[in-house]
Amino acid sequence: MDFLSLPKAEIHIHLEGCFDPEDIEALAKDAGVPLPRSRENLYDTSGLSNFLAFLDWTCGLVRFREQLAGAAYAFSRRMHLSGVRYADVIVNPTHWTHWHHRIPDMIDALDGGFAEAEEDGFAPAKLCISLLRKQTSEQAIELVELLTALKHPRVVALSVDGNEAAAGRTGPRFAEAYRRAAQAGLRRTAHAGESSGPEGVRDALDFLRVERIDHGVRVIEDAELVKRLVDEQIALGITPTSNITLGLYGGYDSHPFEALRKAGVPVSVNTDDPSPLSISLPQEYANMANANGWDKETVRAVARTSITASFAEPELKASMLRDLADW
């Protein structure tokens, strides 16, 4: 099957995880900072905590507007080369040292890069601005109030990411921020059920009232929660290679994606951090299709979920779904 031409959306991907090693080397050179390792081994980190620390270091190299705009443009080019028709891209301002207190400028610079990419024929992307799990409830509310006042058309959703195991329970802490986000018309998603168990997903549903969950794979450990996702049709943005690389599962054939799909949970295939994982979305579809014996209609159904669960405009969704039906 031709997974490149497959009409699809990418709905769980981090801009911070889209810097190729040569891009990082160029940024480090501009900043006068030595690389921590050789270019070939830049992403050789062990464990989620070390990986997140490396993302902080990388994003800390980005100091100027043109560098941010360039990162956005490069992201859109990457999506184009993967046959992606639309992307919800996660950006967490806490990773970007020089932009912590300049979030409106940061969003404006990213918007410039995405707009230029669209003019060049690349697919549109919208921003999911993310909280870090270690932030306080006051900081979360402050971010939502900023986004609400800004009303930037490029910003479509509020997210939360980071190490669940290290940060502890965060649902109650961010409940008020998410309530205000919903009131302001922002869409809501959250990372849950990866480094935490099913309880992280339950908190995201009960306290954050999310519309979509990033990861969510460990709900497979709780049959009642699986049924709830089916009943409420809460989609999971699953990233199999990321889960396997971090040691959650032994391989594509033992990953719970297929069990969740067969149970009726809306599931989509995504790449999470494609540069360090050396993965593209067509490759990720091929991995899952080969491991689980998917036929064309199954692939079409998974791609359909990526589109319907995305935060794209209704007209764009309808266009993508028409193309998918003809694929």
24 band by pLDDT with thresholds 50, 70 and 90: very high
Residue 3 inside a domain? The answer is no
Give the pLDDT confidence score for residue 131 in this predicted structure.
97
Choice among 165-174, 208-217, 263-272 with the minimum mean pLDDT: 165-174
Which of 63 and 46 is assigned the larger pLDDT?
63
Between the alpha carbon of residue 186 and those of residues 5, 14, 37, 176, 265, the distances in Å are 31, 18, 40, 14, 24
Which of 63 and 44 is assigned the larger pLDDT?
63
Backbone φ and ψ of 205, nearest 5° = -75, -45
| pLDDT higher than threshold 90 for residue 195 | no
271 band by pLDDT with thresholds 50, 70 and 90: very high
Q: Which of 194, 211, 232, 284 is catalytic?
A: 194
Choice among 145-154, 169-178, 304-313 with the minimum mean pLDDT: 169-178
43 band by pLDDT with thresholds 50, 70 and 90: confident
| pLDDT higher than threshold 80 for residue 168 | no
**All residues at 6 or more sequence positions from 113 whose CB lies less than 8 Å from its CB, including other chains:** 68, 69, 70, 71, 72, 73, 75, 76
Query: For residue 91, what are the β-bridge partners?
Result: 129
| pLDDT higher than threshold 80 for residue 45 | no
Residue 296 inside a domain? The answer is yes
Between the alpha carbon of residue 2 and those of residues 79, 82, 83, 289, 322, the distances in Å are 16, 11, 10, 12, 17
Residue 115 inside a domain? The answer is yes
Residue 1 inside a domain? The answer is no
Residue 2 inside a domain? The answer is no
Tell the residue number behind the tokens 């309808």, with chain if given. Answer: 318
Query: What percent of the chain lies above the pLDDT cut of 70?
Result: 100
Token reading at 28: 């480090």
Instruction: Print the domain residue range for 90.
Output: 8-326
Q: Which DSSP string corresponds to 279-311? A: --HHHHHHHHHHHHT--HHHHHHHHHHHHHTS-
CATH of the domain at 232: 3.20.20.140
Give the pLDDT confidence score for residue 96 in this predicted structure.
96
| pLDDT higher than threshold 90 for residue 99 | yes
Average pLDDT, the chain: 95
Query: For residue 127, what are the β-bridge partners?
Result: 89, 155
The average pLDDT across 25-48 equals 86
Give the pLDDT confidence score for residue 98 in this predicted structure.
94
The average pLDDT across 255-265 equals 98
Asked if 194 is an active-site residue, the reply is yes
Give the pLDDT confidence score for residue 3 in this predicted structure.
98
Give the pLDDT confidence score for residue 74 in this predicted structure.
97
162 band by pLDDT with thresholds 50, 70 and 90: confident
Q: What is the length of the chain?
A: 327
Domain total in the chain:
1
Give the pLDDT confidence score for residue 55 in this predicted structure.
87
Backbone φ and ψ of 222, nearest 5° = -135, 100
Classify burial at 80, counting beta carbons within 10 Å of its beta carbon; exposed 0-12, middle 13-18, buried 19 or more. Answer: middle
Residue 264 inside a domain? The answer is yes
pTM: 0.96
